[in-house]
Structure 1
C-alpha cells in the first residue's frame, strides 16, 4: 500500500490527507500542541516537539522512514521548495514535487531569472547584492524605485520597495532577516499603475510532457501578500497565450514534474510583461483553477507520482479546453484591517463557526476537525503560523455572478468573536474598480481607507445578540447567556458590593475601551453575565489569580506616558537595539548607548514576517520593560522600554 507523510498543517494538510484517502493511500500527519485539527483526518498522527520541527529536514525524514512511508507531500510553505528535503529522502520515499535540480533553480530567484533570460523570456532588470553598497551602486545605474528581495523569500516575506537612499539600509537588513539563506538581490520595481500579477498553472509528468491549466490573477495584494484571486483573468487572451508559451518553454527545459506556477507582472495598458519566478508546488490559490477547469489538482499531483502515470493517462491535453465561467478565492485571515492588519489571536470552538454553502460555494479550512477523543475540540489562533483561517471560493458563469456569490458568503459566515479581514474583502467586492477590472498590484494600498468604508456596510453576525427580538436595540455585543470573548466597545451594567450585608451596593456602568493581548492573567475566577438590563454581578479574584497577575511575564505600557515604548502588535522579539541589550537593572544608558529618532528599538516577528518598532525621539534607555529579551512573544500594548531625556545626566557610579 502507498503511504504518504503530509509534512504540513492547516487547510492544505486537510486537503492532501482527504485526497490521498480517496485514492486508498495510508496517511500520516504531523502536528504540534494546540494545532491538531488537520491531524484528525490522518490514519496516524505524530506529535512534533515544537513548531520549528516543521522546518527540520532531519526530523521530517526520520518520521517518514520510521513509519515506512512511500511518499512525502510537503504542501506549500515550510519545506515545500527545499532541495535539501528532496535530496535527503531515501530511494524508497518519493518526494511529491519536482526534481532536486529543478528545486535548486526555482528556490533561487537569481538562478530562475538567469534561466528565463537564456530561453528568451523577459525579466525585470536586477542583480544579486552582498551589501548596501551594492544596492546603492544599482540605484546609481537604474534609479528608484527598487525592490530588495530575499532569494528564497515568498508569501510576501523578504520583499521591500525602496524609493530613497535613507530607506536602503533598513530594508536590506529586514529582507536579510527574513531570508533563511541570508542572500539578497535587487531589481527595478514595476510599481506604477496598471501592473497586474498573473500566474500560469503548469503540470508536467517528468517524462517530457507538460501542459497548462490556464491562468489566475492575483492583483489584490497587500505588501505582496495575495488576498483575493480570480480565474481566469480578464486580460486579452493574446497576452495570456504569450505567458503560457513562455511558461511551457521553461517547464520543458526543466523536464518539469508535478504542479508548478509561473508568475508574471503584466501591464494592462501596454500589455508589456516580465517573468518573476517559479513556485514549484501546489499554490494556496489552486482552488480557483480547479473550479474553472473541473480538474482536481491535488489528486492529479498525487497520481503523477505513482508508477506508470503520465499526463496522457490522466486525460490532460495540450492545449487544454478553455476555462468555464469564473471563480474567486477570498483569503479569510485573523487580521484586523482597521488596525494596520494586526494579528487577532484567540480561541474558537466548533459552535462558534458557521461556513456558508450552496451552489457555487466552497470553503477550504482547517477550522473543521473531525470528532476525536485524542485531540482538543478547541482551535487556537496564535503568532506561530500564517493567519489564514479559510479559503472561500465562489464560482459563477460570469464574473458578476461569482462576485455576487462571494459577497453572500461574507454576509452569512460566522466565526465567533474573532476579528477577521471580512470587512476588507467585502469592500473590495463592492468597489466599482473590482467590477470593472481596473485593479493593479498596488490598488489596495492606495484605496484601503475607501475599501474599509465600503466594507463596513456588511452586516457582521458577530455583533448579533442571540435571542434578541428584531425590534430591540442593544449596545452590548455579548450574548445573553454563557460566556463571551471580551472586546472593545462592550457595555456592562454592574452592581458591586463589598460582601458586608449592611453596606449599600453601588451601581456602575462598565465600558471596555481597549484590550491588550497577554494583559490578562492565565485564570480568572468570576464570570461576566450580560442581559438587556442592569444585572447584579458578583465578581472576585481568587488567590491564584492574584498570584498569576503578580507573576505576569510582562508589564503594560501607559498609553498616556510619552516615555513608554509599547509593542504595537503581538509578536516574537527577534532583535533588540544594542542599547537595550546593554541594559542592566533599572538603567540601560550607563554604557552611553543612545537611541536616535527613527532607529529600530525592537524587531517583532509575526507570522514569519518582521515588523520594526522605532524610537519616537533621541533618548537614552532609562530601563527595559519586565521580561524583555530576544525570543519571547510580546503582547500588544506591553512595555518594551522607558526612554529618558537624551540630555539628562546619567546616574553617578561609585
Structure 2
C-alpha cells in the first residue's frame, strides 16, 4: 500500500490529498496552529512546531520516515524546487520524492544554470549576469541600458524580483532581492517588459525517458510579477507557439525529465522575438487550466508516474491533441485590499461568511473548506495572516470559446462572497480585468495591469455588486439603515460620550477630569458597520456639523499593549503602512536617542509580508528622536503602529 506525505498546505495540499485518496493511497499532512484546514483531507496529520518546519528538509524527511511513508509530494513553493529535500529523503530512508531527479532539480532551482543549459542547446535567453554587488548591476546596466531586473537565483511566485529603472534605485532593489533569496545569490537581466511582451509557459510531462507537452498557458496578467489571471490555451497562433513548445521539448528531453514541469518564456507579439526564462520543476499554481482543456488529472498522473511500470504510453499521454473548442481561465482570489494598493487584508473568516460560485464549467480550488478527517482539532474558522501568501482560492471556468469562458468568469465572480466585510479581496480587480476591452482583444502584456489598475478597479466596482446592494439607498436619512452585522443605526440618534484616562498615574499627578459630550448622527451616508460607517455628526465639542468616516483597519490582530499607535496627523511620526514581521532595522533605529541621522528615502525598516520584503522609507532628512514601543527585529508589527519619531534636520549634501 502506498502512503503519501504532502509537504505543503492550503489548496494545493488539498488538491494532492484528494487525488491520492481517490487512488486508495494512505495520506499524511503537516500543519501549524491556525492553519489546519488542508489536514482534514488526510488520514493522518502531524503538527509542526512552527511555520519554519515547512522549510526544514530534515524535519520533513524525519516525519516521512517515522510515518512509514512510501512517497512525498512537495506541492509548489516551500521546498518543492530545493535539492535539499530529495537529499534528506535519500539519507533518511527510501521515500520516493515526487519530482525530477536530483541533477535536474539542481539545474532548475538555479536560474543561471537553467539559462546556461538553454544557451548550450541553442535556446535564446535575455542578456544576463551573475552579480556580487551593486557595482556589478550598474556596470551591466551601462551596457544594455535601463531598466534591468534583479532576480534571486532561487526566487519564485513573484518573490526575489525587482526592477531597476535608474542607477539611484539599484542599491535598495539589490538589498530587497537579497532579503527574499534563501541562497543570498542574485543575477541581473535585461528587462523585457512593456507593450507586446507576453508571459507564455509550456506544460511538460515526462516519465524519465520520454517527454511530451500538454500545450501552453498565458499568464500575462500580473502585478509585481505575481500572476493573477491565467488562461489556456493562449490566443496566439499555433505557428507562433510552436517554437516555444519545441524549445521546451528539447530542454526536457536533454534532462530526461520525469514528472510535471513548466518551461517559461517571454514572447513579443510585435516582433515575434522570444526568450527562455526558467524551469519550474513542479506542479504549477495554474495547472488547473491545462487540466480543463486537456481533460487530464495532472496530479493523479504525477502520482502514478512514480509507481513501478508506469510510462507516458501506459497513461495514454504519449500524444495529447489540442482541443479545438475548449478554453479555460483561472482567477486567483486573494485576501488583498484594492483600496489600499492591494495590501494584505488579514483577519478571520467563518464558514457562514463564504459563498462560492457553481454551475457547468465552474470549479473552485480553495483551502477555505473542511474535509472528512477532523483529527483532534476541527476547523471552526480560517485565519489570514502574514506567514503565508494571500491566495484564498482559484476560480476556474471552462467554455467552448474564449468569449464563453470570459462570460462564465464574470458570472462566477458575481456569485462569490468572502467574509463579512472585514476581509477585503481582489474580486474587483479580477472582474475589471475580464470586463476590460484589452482582455477581449488580447492586448495584454506583463505590465498592462500596472498601467491600467485604476481603470480595472473602476470597471470591477461597477461589475460586481456590493453586499447589501438591495438595501435602501444609503443616503436616505428618513429611516434606519441596517449594518452588515445586523446593527441598526437611526439618523437623529443621540449618544452620550464620556472620556476618562486609564491606568495608574504618578502619585504627584492629579488625574485629569473626565469629560462628557453629546453626539448626534445627523445623517448616515454609508452603513456597513463595523467595516465602514460614514455621515455627518453634531457634537457638543464642535460648533458646526462634522463629516466623519469610520473605517475598520484590515490589520491582523496584534497585541495593542506591545506597541503604540502613531499620530497620523504628526509628520514626525513614522507608522507601519501594513502588518508584517520586522526583518531589518536601520542602524539609527537600533541606537535611537543618539541622534543618528537618516537620509530621505533610506529604508528605516523592512517588513516581511507573505515572504516578500517591503521597505518603510524615511520621508525626509532627519535624526531619530526615539523608537516606537516594542520595535525590534522579529516582531509582527500592526498597521498604524509607531515605528519611530523623527526630527527634521538639514544634512550636508552627498559628495
User: Could you state the TM-score of these two structures normalised by the residue count of structure 1?
Assistant: 0.88
Aligned to 1:99: 101
Aligned to 1:451: 456
Aligned to 1:600: 603
Is residue 187 from structure 1 mapped to residue 186 from structure 2 by the alignment?
A: no
Q: 2:589 aligns with which of 571, 576, 580?
A: 580
Q: How does 1:185-584 map to 2 (within 5 A)?
A: 185-206=187-208, 208-318=209-319, 320-322=321-323, 324-370=325-371, 372=374, 374-416=377-419, 417=421, 418-464=423-469, 477-480=483-486, 495-496=495-496, 508-509=520-521, 511=534, 513-516=550-553, 552-583=561-592
Whole-angstrom CA distance in 2 between matches of 1:493 and 1:627 = 40
CA contact (8 A) 1:414 1:461 kept: no
Change (3 A) 1:281 1:44: same
Can you list the C-alpha shifts for 1:243-285, whole angstroms capped at 9, x where unaligned? 1100000001000000000000000112111000000000000
Find the residue that maps to 2:126 and give its secondary structure.
Answer: coil
Find the residue that maps to 2:648 and give its secondary structure.
Answer: coil
Aligned to 1:157: 159
Find the residue that maps to 1:269 and give its secondary structure.
Answer: coil
CA contact (8 A) 1:465 1:480 kept: no
- Report the CA distance between 1:515 and its aligned residue: 3.3
CA contact (8 A) 1:588 1:624 kept: no
Find the residue that maps to 1:580 and give its secondary structure.
Answer: helix
Change (3 A) 1:68 1:421: same
Aligned to 1:171: 173
CA contact (8 A) 1:462 1:477 kept: no
Aligned to 1:5: 5
- Report the CA distance between 1:644 and its aligned residue: 1.2
CA contact (8 A) 1:478 1:490 kept: no
- Report the CA distance between 1:380 and its aligned residue: 0.3
- Report the CA distance between 1:144 and its aligned residue: 1.2
Whole-angstrom CA distance in 2 between matches of 1:490 and 1:266 = 58
Find the residue that maps to 1:313 and give its secondary structure.
Answer: coil
Find the residue that maps to 1:616 and give its secondary structure.
Answer: coil
Can you list the C-alpha shifts for 1:225-256, whole angstroms capped at 9, x where unaligned? 00000100011111211111000000010000
Aligned to 2:543: none
Of the structure 1 ranges 32-41 and 371-380, higher mean CA displacement relative to structure 2 is found in: 371-380
Change (3 A) 1:355 1:134: same
Alignment length, in residue pairs? 602
Change (3 A) 1:243 1:493: farther
- Report the CA distance between 1:479 and its aligned residue: 3.1
- Report the CA distance between 1:369 and its aligned residue: 1.1
Can you list the C-alpha shifts for 1:315-371, whole angstroms capped at 9, x where unaligned? 002353446410000000000122111110010111110101000100000001136
Whole-angstrom CA distance in 1 between matches of 2:460 and 2:640 = 27
Change (3 A) 1:163 1:518: closer
Change (3 A) 1:517 1:312: same
Q: How does 1:20-39 map to 2 (within 5 A)?
A: 20-39=20-39
Is residue 60 from structure 1 mapped to residue 69 from structure 2 by the alignment?
A: no
Change (3 A) 1:481 1:236: same
CA contact (8 A) 1:97 1:257 kept: yes
Gaps of 5+ in 1: 483-488, 499-503, 523-548, 649-654
Aligned to 1:121: 123
Can you list the C-alpha shifts for 1:611-644, whole angstroms capped at 9, x where unaligned? 1110110100011111000011111111100001
Whole-angstrom CA distance in 2 between matches of 1:366 and 1:468 = 36
- Report the CA distance between 1:115 and its aligned residue: 0.2
Whole-angstrom CA distance in 2 between matches of 1:459 and 1:13 = 30
Find the residue that maps to 1:63 and give its secondary structure.
Answer: helix
Whole-angstrom CA distance in 2 between matches of 1:305 and 1:140 = 48
Can you list the C-alpha shifts for 1:196-251, whole angstroms capped at 9, x where unaligned? 00000000001x11000000000000010000001000111112111110000000
CA contact (8 A) 2:347 2:554 kept: no
Change (3 A) 1:342 1:588: farther
Can you list the C-alpha shifts for 1:586-612, whole angstroms capped at 9, x where unaligned? x241xxx20111111110111011111
- Report the CA distance between 1:411 and its aligned residue: 0.6
CA contact (8 A) 1:38 1:369 kept: yes
CA contact (8 A) 1:213 1:293 kept: yes
Change (3 A) 1:636 1:26: same
- Report the CA distance between 1:29 and its aligned residue: 0.3
Find the residue that maps to 1:317 and give its secondary structure.
Answer: coil
CA contact (8 A) 1:7 1:60 kept: yes
User: Could you state the TM-score of these two structures normalised by the residue count of structure 2?
Assistant: 0.88
Gaps of 5+ in 2: 499-515, 522-532, 535-548
Change (3 A) 1:493 1:197: farther
Change (3 A) 1:606 1:473: farther
Aligned to 1:109: 111
Aligned to 1:540: none
Structure showing the higher strand proportion among its residues: 2
